[in-house]
Amino acid sequence: MKKSEYAVFSATGDLLGTFDGEVIYIGGKPAYRIDGTEVYTFGPRAEFVGYLNGDAVTTTQGLNLFKMAL
């Protein structure tokens, strides 16, 4: 993991991938894009999935999707 990357963990604490400050990579492939505090799936048909709240990504219903740590 590069110094500027964060580890991305599931809500249950399993390591999923990395976050470079804009894109969350899972299995080495771009999976989600963060624009400000809004989180979208990655790609041409990107869909809104939730918000970045500090070091966590939560859905609009308040469910934790991911947590990031150095």
Amino acid at 33: R
Residue that the structure tokens 């999976």 belong to: 31
Domain membership of residue 28 (yes or no) is yes
3-state DSSP assignment of residue 17 = strand
Residue that the structure tokens 């505090």 belong to: 37
Domain membership of residue 56 (yes or no) is yes
pLDDT at 3: 54
Domain count, the chain: 1
Residue that the structure tokens 């899972």 belong to: 26
Domain membership of residue 53 (yes or no) is yes
pTM metric for this prediction: 0.86
Domain membership of residue 11 (yes or no) is yes
Domain membership of residue 59 (yes or no) is yes
Q: Is the pLDDT of residue 24 over 60?
A: yes
pLDDT, one tens digit per residue, over 43-66 is 999 999 999 998 999 998 989 999
Domain membership of residue 1 (yes or no) is no
CA–CA separation, 17 and 27 (whole Å): 6
pLDDT, one tens digit per residue, over 38-49 is 999 999 999 999
The domain in which residue 10 lies consists of 6-69
Q: Which residues contact 47 (CB under 8 A, 6 or more apart)?
A: 40, 41
